[in-house]
Amino acid sequence: MEKNVSDILTRVRKIELKTRRLSDDLFGGAYHSSFKGRGMTFSEVRKYEYGDDVRTIDWNVTARNREPYSKVFEEERELTLMLVVDVSPSGIFSTSSQTKIEKSIEIAAILAFSALQNNDKVGLLAFSDEVELFITPKKGKSHLLRIIRQLLVLGDIKRARTPRGTNLSNAFSGISKYLKKRTIVFVLSDFIDENYERALRIVNKRHDLNAICIYDANEFSLPNLGLVPFKDLESGKTEYVDTSSAEVRKTYEKRIQEQRAYFEDTFKKIGAPVMRCELNENHVKKLLGFFKSKT
């Protein structure tokens, strides 16, 4: 038990060192400019300057000083970032050096440290076929490290786990249940699911919704390897599949393409931005491009 705890803390520290540097050097400004504050708040008055909007003139101060003064406003920057992370067993699939859940945690940490740098609150909703964990948004480094630690625990492939699936509808319903104020929401998942459009629309109307799809390119097709045992990571069942059958491979690929098309079409219909990241892609470059597209 102590070894497991020590291992988790070591991994938390490694993620902190890696992602905090990226957030400080690259993402602070990008995050800040991509997401707007909740409004403008009064800062001070100063003498009217040529080009000032006449609607900002403070007539009371102008009358007292017998020369025009303008009100100065600043953007109210305090925001809330909610990380909605898929921790279902399909996240441990990988033909790369990194699993989907590991990639998700690194990206989530970059987003969280970017929010921390801007003094924003950060929260977590982790889900599989149900909401596994909800952490109320708060500020502070210790709170953020707790979020990373919990994600590592939930995503630990060595941990004994009851078979679970992926239910995005339940995740989106959880967002609507727990978040009452407008929030920046990042959903990190492989989106291997369907029938979540209705719940998704509700979230998109109330919040600034963003999707990050983490996938392995080798998921989209079956290689011809003959009779092979396949374990369904979410149901826990193992079945022998004849991958030499062209019909079997075609059926598998069709099913995967249907789920991918549902994801693409649904997010396109509601107008929510999507970032796609394959396991072998550089997620830092992808995130910078995503932030740039939102400014």
Burial annotation 202-218 (CB, 10 A radius, 16+ → b, else e): ebbebbbbbbbbbbbee
Same domain, 19 and 64: no
Query: Residue 122 is part of which domain span?
Result: 2-34+77-294
Q: What angle do CA 5, 121, 110 make, to 5 degrees?
A: 60
Structural contact between residues 176 and 245, judged by C-beta atoms closer than 8 angstroms: no
Same domain, 45 and 182: no
Same domain, 9 and 66: no
For residue range 129-164, what is the model confidence (pLDDT) as tens digits?
999 999 999 999 999 999 999 999 998 754 445 657
Helix (H) or strand (E) holding 125: strand 121-127
Please enumerate in sequence order all residues whose Cβ is within 8 A of that of 160, keeping only pairs 6 or more positions apart, or say none.
none
Whether the pLDDT of residue 269 is over 90: the answer is yes
Same domain, 81 and 58: no
pLDDT given for residue 3 in this prediction? 44
Share of the chain above pLDDT 90, in %: 47
Whether the pLDDT of residue 39 is over 60: the answer is no
Tell me which range, 13-27, 227-241, 280-294, is most confidently predicted by mean pLDDT: 280-294
Ranges 36-45, 203-212, 231-240, 284-293: which has the least confidence: 36-45
Ranges 158-162, 249-253, 267-271, 278-282: which has the least confidence: 158-162
pLDDT given for residue 7 in this prediction? 73
| pTM of the model as a whole | 0.78
Considering its fold, how many domains does the chain have in total? 2
pLDDT given for residue 2 in this prediction? 42
pLDDT given for residue 240 in this prediction? 84
Same domain, 152 and 119: yes
Same domain, 241 and 269: yes
> Residue 288 — very low, low, confident or very high, per pLDDT cuts 50/70/90?
confident
pLDDT given for residue 4 in this prediction? 58
Structural contact between residues 86 and 188, judged by C-beta atoms closer than 8 angstroms: yes
pLDDT given for residue 158 in this prediction? 45
pLDDT given for residue 42 in this prediction? 58
Same domain, 119 and 238: yes
For residue range 169-187, what is the model confidence (pLDDT) as tens digits?
999 999 999 998 889 999 9
Same domain, 49 and 164: no
Same domain, 60 and 204: no
Neighbours of 68 (CB within 10 A): 16
Across the range 98-116, mean pLDDT stands at 91
For residue range 188-225, what is the model confidence (pLDDT) as tens digits?
999 999 999 999 999 999 999 999 999 999 888 888 88
Same domain, 269 and 241: yes
Same domain, 126 and 250: yes
Q: What is the CATH number of the domain that holds 264?
A: 3.40.50.410
Structural contact between residues 27 and 286, judged by C-beta atoms closer than 8 angstroms: no
Same domain, 163 and 249: yes
For residue range 113-124, what is the model confidence (pLDDT) as tens digits?
888 888 899 999
Whether the pLDDT of residue 229 is over 90: the answer is no
